[in-house]
Amino acid sequence: MDITDELFERVLENARLKLSEEEKKRFKADIYEVLAAFAVIDEAPVNDEKPSYHPIPLENKWDTEDQPETFSEREKLWSQLKRNYEGYVWGPKIKKGQK
């Protein structure tokens, strides 16, 4: 496969890479090396073979038997908060200069 300059620049843009000309030369050579390795794989005689899949079985990682519970120590929690007001928690400033 030939990689045109336009395609190569699109790859760099999509990957958000800003490379010097020297880095571009080395990267392009690396891409050709990878494509050559895949070309060898493409030559494998597998015309009549069915694909072999080994998927990981899907499992529910979350315990579906959990049920929501009311938090019984709300007042204790609120008393430990440094900044709270009328049922709201004040967090730290996110942006500099924010009041």
Q: Is residue 87 part of a domain?
A: no
pTM attached to this predicted model: 0.45
Q: Is residue 12 part of a domain?
A: yes
Q: Is residue 98 part of a domain?
A: no
- Sign of the C-alpha dihedral computed for residues 58, 62, 66 and 69 taken in this order: negative
Q: Is residue 54 part of a domain?
A: no
Q: Residue 31's closest CA among 64, 69, 4?
A: 4
Which tens digit of pLDDT belongs to each residue from 37-89?
999 988 888 878 777 776 777 677 776 777 788 888 878 887 888 787 787 88
What domain count does the chain have? 1
By residue range, what is the domain housing residue 25? Answer: 5-42
Q: pLDDT grade, residue 34 (50/70/90)?
A: very high
Q: Is residue 52 part of a domain?
A: no
**Backbone angle region of 16, left / alpha / beta, with phi > 0 → left and psi within -120 to 50 → alpha:** left
Q: Is residue 26 part of a domain?
A: yes
Q: Alpha-carbon distance 43 to 68, whole Å? A: 56
DSSP H helical segments within the chain, as ranges? Answer: 5-14, 21-42, 74-80
pLDDT of residue 39: 92
